Amino acid sequence: MKKVTLSMAVAALAVLMLPSCKPKNAGTAVSAGAAGKAYVAPGKYDEFYNFVSGGFSGQMSVYGLPSGRLLRVIPIFSVDPEKGYGYSEETKPMLNTSHGFVPWDDQHHTELSQTNGEIDGRWIFANANNTPRVARVDLTTFRTAEIIELPNSAGNHSSPFITENTEYVVAGTRFSVPPDDANGDVPINTYKQNFKGYISFISVGAADGKMDIAFQLKCPGVNFDLSHAGKGKSHGWFFFSCYNTEQASTLLEVNASQRDKDFIMAVNWKKAEEYLKAGKGRKQSVKYAHNVYDEKSHTATSEIRTEVTVLDASELKDICYMIPCPKSPHGCDVDPTGEYIVGSGKLAALIPVFSFTKMQKAIADKAFEGDYEGIPVIKYDAALHGEVKKPGLGPLHTEFDGKGNAYTTFFVSSEVVKWSIADLKVLDRVPTYYSVGHLCIPGGDTKKPNAKYLIAYNKITKDRYLPTGPELSQSAQLFDISGDKMQLILDFPTIGEPHYAQAVAASVIRDKSVKFFKIEENSNPYVSKGEGTTKVVREGNKVHVYMTSIRSHFSPDNIEGIRAGEEVYFHVTNLEQDWDVPHGFAIKGADNAELLIMPGETQTLKWVADKPGIYPFYCTDFCSALHQEMSGYLRVSPPGSTVPLSFSTGKNYPKADSTAAK
Ligand code: K7E
Ligand code: CUA
C-alpha cells in the first residue's frame, strides 16, 4: 500500500510539472488520500445534488456529490421507455411542438430557480437546442412539469439562464433565421438582409412557475451563444455572448473567425419592460406549443399559441449595447457581486473581464466606437476591467467561489485555471482528463456560491475507464477546492454529453420530495380508485380498460372479447399509498414502451390488437415476493367476432364453457 502511495505521489508531481500536456497514464493522477474525500458510506446521503445536462441524450441526470452516485435520470426532451415518458397517453403531449410530436432533443444547460440571487430549490430549467424549447422540472417530483416552444428561433443554445428572482428565463437563438412570419423561402446567401436573431424573455409565475413568453427582442442576425443575468448592482441587465458577427452562412470555422472581436450584447431588460408597457411592441403571428403536466390528473395538455410581442432592438435604441469581445466568445459569466462580466473567446489567448460600472459610464458618456446594425458598440477599453494574460488555450466557461476568485475551463489545454478577479492573476491550474467543457461549483453562478467542490465536465474520456468499444461515456471530475490548491478526488462517467451542470446543498431540496400521489386527489378521467370500479368499455373501435394495480395483481386480469384491429387503452391506476412502490405494465407485441406507474397515479398505454390470440401482460417492476405472479391475459378474437366483452379478477372468473372459442 505504501509503495502505491509513493508511486502515485511521484506521478502526480510529474503531472503538475506538465500542466498543458496529456499525461500518458492519467490513472495515477489522483493523490493519495484523495479518494476518502469522495467516500460516502453505504446508507449515508450525499451532501449535494448535482444536476447535469445530458446533451444529445435530451435528458438531465442527477448525481450525488461527493460520491458521484447516479440518483436519477429525468426525461425532459427525449422519450424514455424506462419510465414510459413520451409513450404513455398522459405524457405524449409534453413532446408536442409546432412540428408535431418530437421525440428527441439536445439538452445543454441547466438553471436552478433563484430567490434573491440564491438557489431556492423549487425548479430547474432546461433548454432544447435543436427544436427550440425551454422546460421546467419540478423538484418536488423530479419530473418535467412544463415545456414551452420558442418561435422565431433555431438552435436555442443561449438558454435557460435566469434573473435573480426567476422573473425571466431567457432563450437566445443560436442560429439566426428569417422570422416565422416572413417568407423563409429565401436564398441562404441573403443572410445579411433576411436572417434575424431573436431573444425570448420567458416570464415565470412567482407562485406556480408557469412560463409565458413575455416578449421577444429582434436583434441583428448573429449566433447567440451563452448568457447570464446581471445580479446585485447589475440586476435589470442580461449579457449574451455573440459570434459569427461576420454573418457567414458557410464554412463558419473559417468565415465566422475573421473578426478580431465579436461581441457581448448587454440587454437592459427593465428598459424593455418599459417599452412593452408603453405599447412599443409589435404583435407578430407565430405558432408555438405550450405543454403543461398536471400532477392532479397526471396528464399533460398541449396548446398551440399564435402570437408573440416583439421589440425591435435596432429601433428602440437604449435596450441593447454591444461590447467588443475577443475572438468568438463562448461563456458569458457574471461574478457573484454582479460587477464583473467574463467573456471567454474560444480563439483568444486572454480572458477579458468587463466592469458593469464602467459599462454604465461608457453608455452615459456615449463612449461608442460606432454601431452594429443599429446597436451602439461601446469602446472596448471603456468597458474593460482588465484581461487575464496567457491563462491557457481555448477558454470556455467560468464559475466563481464567492471569495473573489474565478475558475475558467480551457478546452484546448485541458485544464481548469483559478484566477483572482481583482488583480487578474493566475493562482492555480489543474489538468483535466480531457478537454473540459463546462464546470460547476455549487451556486457558482449565483450571488452565494458554496465553494467546497468544483466539477469539470469533460468531452474526451480516452483511457480513464475500461474500454467499451468505440464509444466511451463522457466523464466528470470532482475537485476539492476548499484549500488554495484544487485537488482531484474523483472521476465519474455521465449519461449523454454533459454541458452545463449545477449543484446545490441537498438540504435545499431533500425534504420537499413528494413520496407518493394521494389517490383521493387523482382527477385523471380514467382513474379507478378501487377494484370495485374497474371495467372494460367499448367505444366504437376503441376499448378502454380501467385497471388497477396493487401488490400483487391487476384488476381485471382476464379480459376477453377484444377484436383484432381495435385500439385498446390500458388506464392503469396504482392503488398503493406508500413510498417507492411503483408498478409497471407491459403487454406482448406493444409497439410502445412500458408504463411505470407511481403510487396514486394513473397512466395509459395504447396498444393495438394486431391478430387473434392470447396476450399476456405483466408488472415490470419487482414489487413484492409475488411480483412474478402479477400478470394477466387478454384474449383477442377476429374482427366481427361475437365473443362478448368480459373482464374478471379472481372470484368473478367466468366458467370454462361460457367463453369457449366458437
Ligand atoms: Cu460550452 Cu452547449 Cu454550454 Cu457545451 S456549450 S461545453
Ligand atoms: Cu407490481 Cu411487480
Closest residue by Cα to atom 2, ligand 1, is 108
172-209 pLDDT, tens digit each: 999 999 999 999 999 999 999 999 999 999 999 999 99
| Section 29-46 average pLDDT | 87
Which three three-digit cell numbers place residue 657? 364453457
Are the C-beta atoms of residues 403 and 9 closer than 8 Å to each other?
no
Q: How remote is the CA of residue 330 from the centroid of ligand 1, in Å?
A: 8
The pick from 342, 396, 459 for probing ligand 1's pocket by mutation, whose C-beta has the most ligand atoms within 8 angstroms, reads 396
Task: Note the pTM of the prediction, 2 decimals.
Answer: 0.94
Q: How remote is the CA of residue 42 from the centroid of ligand 2, in Å?
A: 26
Radius of gyration of the chain (CA): 28
Nearest ligand (C-alpha, residue 437): 1
Q: How long is the chain?
A: 662
| 123 has pLDDT over 70 | yes
| 653 has pLDDT over 80 | no
107-116, 331-340, 341-350 — which is least confidently predicted? 341-350
pLDDT at residue 35 in the model: 84
| Section 217-234 average pLDDT | 98
pLDDT at residue 332 in the model: 98
Share of the chain above pLDDT 90, in %: 92
Which three three-digit cell numbers place residue 7? 508511486
Task: Spell out the residues 6+ positions from residue 185 whose beta carbon is closer than 8 angstroms to its own.
Answer: none
Question: Residue 143: CB within 6 Å of ligand 2?
Answer: no
Question: Residue 622: CB within 6 Å of ligand 2?
Answer: yes
Q: How remote is the CA of residue 154 from the centroid of ligand 1, in Å?
A: 16
Please identify, by atom number, the ligand 1 atom nearest to the C-alpha of residue 330: 1
Are the C-beta atoms of residues 74 and 143 closer than 8 Å to each other?
yes
Question: Residue 385: CB within 6 Å of ligand 1?
Answer: no
Which three three-digit cell numbers place residue 272? 424593455
Give DSSP secondary structure letters for 55-90: BTT-EEEEEEETTTEEEEEEESSS-BTTTTBTTSTT
Q: How remote is the CA of residue 535 from the centroid of ligand 2, in Å?
A: 20
Which pLDDT band holds residue 31 (cuts at 50, 70, 90)?
Answer: low
pLDDT at residue 34 in the model: 86
Share of the chain above pLDDT 70, in %: 93
Angle made by CA atoms 22, 28, 33, in degrees to the nearest 5: 130
Closest residue by Cα to atom 1, ligand 2, is 583
22-36, 84-98, 149-163, 486-500 — which is least confidently predicted? 22-36
Please identify, by atom number, the ligand 2 atom nearest to the C-alpha of residue 621: 2
Which pLDDT band holds residue 566 (cuts at 50, 70, 90)?
Answer: very high
Are the C-beta atoms of residues 235 and 259 closer than 8 Å to each other?
no
- Please tell me the distance from the alpha carbon of residue 592 to that of residue 607, in angstroms, as a whole number: 7
DSSP 8-state secondary structure symbol assigned to residue 653: P
Which pLDDT band holds residue 29 (cuts at 50, 70, 90)?
Answer: low
- Please tell me the distance from the alpha carbon of residue 558 to that of residue 636, in angstroms, as a whole number: 11
416-467 pLDDT, tens digit each: 999 999 999 999 999 999 999 999 999 999 999 999 999 999 999 999 999 9
Are the C-beta atoms of residues 555 and 535 closer than 8 Å to each other?
no
Question: Residue 630: CB within 6 Å of ligand 2?
Answer: yes
Which pLDDT band holds residue 39 (cuts at 50, 70, 90)?
Answer: very high
Please, what is the average pLDDT of the chain?
94
Closest residue by Cα to atom 5, ligand 1, is 499
- Please tell me the distance from the alpha carbon of residue 416 to that of residue 402, in angstroms, as a whole number: 17
Closest residue by Cα to atom 6, ligand 1, is 437
Task: Spell out the residues 6+ positions from residue 396 whose beta carbon is closer than 8 angstroms to its own.
Answer: 330, 331, 344, 346, 408, 409, 410, 411, 436, 437, 438
Is the CA virtual torsion 395, 247, 288, 571 positive or negative? negative
Question: Residue 155: CB within 6 Å of ligand 1?
Answer: no
| 311 has pLDDT over 70 | yes
Nearest ligand (C-alpha, residue 582): 2
Cell 503531472 belongs to residue:
15
pLDDT at residue 14 in the model: 39
In 76-141, where do the E strands start and end? 96-97, 100-101, 110-115, 118-128, 133-138
Give DSSP secondary structure letters for 286-297: EEEEEEEEETTT
